[in-house]
């Protein structure tokens, strides 16, 4: 499946620019990665039990992972606020590029 990869077409699709002298090296690396994915298809997973969260061992409980601390709201702070001026506004919405 991985043979015959057209790197130039792949670059066009992904909008990447790769120097011409690097194309053979990148082509072989992409081919190697795709072959690794092909190897994954060879694994037989029939009859395998998918472990659930209760089967996992945690060294730290979920409650102890991070202690959230409240921070002051930017709107309530007494420091001067930055003012952003957006050019592309219409009816209170920001206009994005047309696709």
Please list, residue by residue across 5-26, b when 16 or more beta carbons sit within 10 angstroms of its beta carbon and e when fewer do. eebeeeeeeeeeeeeeeeeeeb
> Which residues are 93's β-sheet partners?
90
Question: pLDDT of 11-60, one tens digit each?
Answer: 888 888 888 898 888 888 888 988 998 888 888 878 877 777 777 777 77
pTM of the model: 0.41
Q: What is the DSSP letter of 70?
A: -
Report domain extents, the chain.
7-40
Given the structure tokens 């709107």, which residue do they identify? 75
Alpha helices in the chain (DSSP H): 7-14, 23-40
Phi-psi map region of 64: left, alpha, beta (phi>0 left; psi -120 to 50 alpha): alpha
Predicted local distance difference test score (pLDDT) of residue 1: 44
Q: How many residues does the chain have?
A: 99
**2 near 31, Cβ under 8 Å?**
yes
């Amino acid at each position: 499946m991985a043979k015959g990869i057209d790197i130039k077409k792949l670059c066009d699709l992904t909008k990447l620019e790769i120097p011409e002298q690097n194309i053979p090296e990148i082509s072989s690396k992409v081919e190697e990665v795709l072959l690794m994915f092909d190897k994954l298809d060879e694994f037989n997973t029939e009859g395998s039990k998918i472990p659930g969260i209760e089967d996992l061992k945690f060294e730290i409980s979920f409650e102890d992972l991070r202690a959230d601390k409240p921070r002051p709201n930017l709107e309530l702070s007494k420091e001067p606020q930055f003012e952003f001026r957006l050019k592309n506004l219409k009816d209170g919405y920001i206009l994005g590029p047309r696709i």
